[in-house]
Structure 1
Amino acid sequence: MLVCHCNVITEREIEEAIIQLLERDPWTLIVPAKVYHTLQKRGRCCGCFPNVVETIIRVTEHYHSHAGAGGEDVVSHLDRVRGLRSEFGSRGHERRQEGNRAA
Structure 2
Amino acid sequence: MNNPATSPPPRTPTPFDVIFKMGAYKVFSEVSPLIQFVNFTCNQALLEAVSDTDQIHIVDFDIGFGAHWASFMQELPVRNRGATAPSLRITAFASPSTHHPR
Band the TM-score falls in, shorter-chain normalisation: 0.3 to 0.5
Normalising by structure 2, what TM-score? 0.38
Greater relative CO (CA pairs within 8 A, separation 6+): 2
Whose strand proportion is higher, 1 or 2? 2
Normalising by structure 1, what TM-score? 0.37
Whose helix proportion is higher, 1 or 2? 1
